[in-house]
Amino acid sequence: MRDGLSLLAPEETVLAAMIEGWEQQQRSRMLANLTIERRTQIVRRLVVFTNDYPWRWSSADVEEWTTHLVESGAAHSTVRLYQMAASLFCSYISDVRYRWHEVCERHFGVHPVQIFHEWNMVVHRSDYEGRPGNRPLTRDELQAFFDYCDTRVNRVGASGRKGWLASYRDATLFKVIYAWGLRRREASMLDTVDWTANPAATEFGRYGALSVRHGKALSGGPPRRRTVLTTMEWAAEAVDEWVTEIRPLYDSDQLALWPTERSARVGAVSISQRFAEYRDAVGLEKHLGPHCLRHSYATHLLEDGFDHLFVQQQLGHSWGSTTAIYTSVGTDYKNNALRRALSRAFTTASTDEEN
């Protein structure tokens, strides 16, 4: 803003200029437009909550805002995300290089300061910050769950009781949720034609990529689409067997990948109910839901060495911080990563000494 200008509505004009300047700073860092928009929305919400302008904010406002967020039911990670966005804005407007202190002193007699500090911001409370019911399963827990799925199919089939086909369907459904990192609705709405080959991974045949057409929508927007690449050969084989040999037994002319006996789709509620039944049979905690399979997928991919950005795109996350909430790598993974780093360091040091 130019010196000497007389502003008709100084508060609103300066606030708008601050936000515009902050957005420009973030664009210069090549941040995604969606990231910038969300951060701006958070700052505007804080303005509304405090009913005051940023140059008059105080640390007490942070504590009142945080308390409001917590009482409104916001998750620990969400509160931290909000605080971080507002903290970045305060860092920008209090940086003397941008001269907002001069503008505010001239028009309002005060200057903006950083109000977010280590002592009034939430911290990482544990390695895993998602809701307890969504925690990733260990590989042993996951194997026990899938073993029960398969055992149930065999037991129902051997008994001659009705339900073998549904048991087979549910077992394959849970494997697909895990192996492609899907939400309940995403899995429920799949069709048989959503699978395609991936020229870069021909070993998976026609099941090299999955088109997810009913991804989680942004507020007020349509369902988001994404393509999830296949990473597990055993899962592609399970889907192939289901589609080509088992599913035709339903004698349905619908495209739904998971049909019912009445030619409808298996719904999200049914998925949760069946998961709870299997979970209890295996002895897992009762707060776990089917979404933990999606979290397990993200964690296990990272443990297997997949790039963090690849995992983020597979899950359809706009923000890498969301993916971080999903994951909780195990001690073995951490120790292996440490061992690889130390091995490279000592190998390099030995080579230098020899030279």
Query: Do 315 and 181 meet the contact criterion of CB atoms below 8 Å apart?
Result: yes
Provide the b/e sequence for 310-331 (b: ≥16 CB within 10 Å): ebbebbbbeeeebbbbbbbbee
Task: Look up residue 7 and give its DSSP letter.
Answer: P
Is-catalytic flag, 99?
A: no
Give the CA count within 13 Å in the CB-facing half-sphere of 143.
Answer: 4
CA–CA gap between residue 271 and residue 280 (Å, rounded) = 14
Q: Is the dihedral of CA 336, 338, 343, 348 positive or negative?
A: positive
Catalytic residue among 294, 295, 297, 300: 294
The string of pLDDT tens digits covering residues 133-174 is 578 899 999 999 999 999 999 999 888 778 899 999 999 999
Asked whether the predicted pLDDT for residue 353 surpasses 60, the reply is no
Averaged pLDDT score across all residues of the chain = 87
Domains 10-120 and 134-335 share a fold: no
Asked whether the predicted pLDDT for residue 214 surpasses 60, the reply is yes
Which residue carries 């994404």 as its tokens?
226
Burial class of 258 by CB neighbour count within 10 A (0 to 12, 13 to 18, 19+): buried
Is-catalytic flag, 317?
A: yes
CATH, domain 134-335, list 1.10.443.10, 3.20.20.140, 1.10.645.10, 1.10.530.10: 1.10.443.10
Average pLDDT over residues 274-281: 95
C-alpha angle 290-294-298 in degrees, rounded to nearest 5: 155
pLDDT at 338: 65
Catalytic residue among 80, 184, 291, 300: 291
pLDDT at 349: 54
The string of pLDDT tens digits covering residues 315-346 is 988 777 677 766 665 556 566 666 766 776 66
pLDDT at 78: 86
Provide the b/e sequence for 2-36 (b: ≥16 CB within 10 Å): eeeeeeeebeeebbeebbeebbebbeeeeeeeebb
SS3 content of the chain, % helix, strand, coil (to 5): 65, 5, 30
pLDDT at 127: 47
Beta partners for 195?
Answer: 210
Domain ranges of the chain: 10-120, 134-335
Asked whether the predicted pLDDT for residue 105 surpasses 50, the reply is yes
Query: Do 63 and 120 meet the contact criterion of CB atoms below 8 Å apart?
Result: yes
What three-state secondary structure class fits 52? coil
Q: What phi, psi does 110 have (nearest 5°)?
A: -135, 170
Beta partners for 256?
Answer: 191
Is-catalytic flag, 183?
A: yes
Catalytic residue among 216, 226, 265, 308: 216
pLDDT at 354: 58
Q: Quote the percentage of the chain above a pLDDT of 90.
A: 64
Top-level class of domain 10-120:
mainly alpha
326 vs 248, higher pLDDT: 248
Asked whether the predicted pLDDT for residue 100 surpasses 90, the reply is yes
Is-catalytic flag, 326?
A: yes
Provide the b/e sequence for 168-196 (b: ≥16 CB within 10 Å): bbbbbbbbbbbbbbbbbbbbbbbebebbe
Catalytic residue among 39, 135, 175, 183: 183
pLDDT at 128: 46
Q: Quote the percentage of the chain above a pLDDT of 70.
A: 85
316 vs 76, higher pLDDT: 316
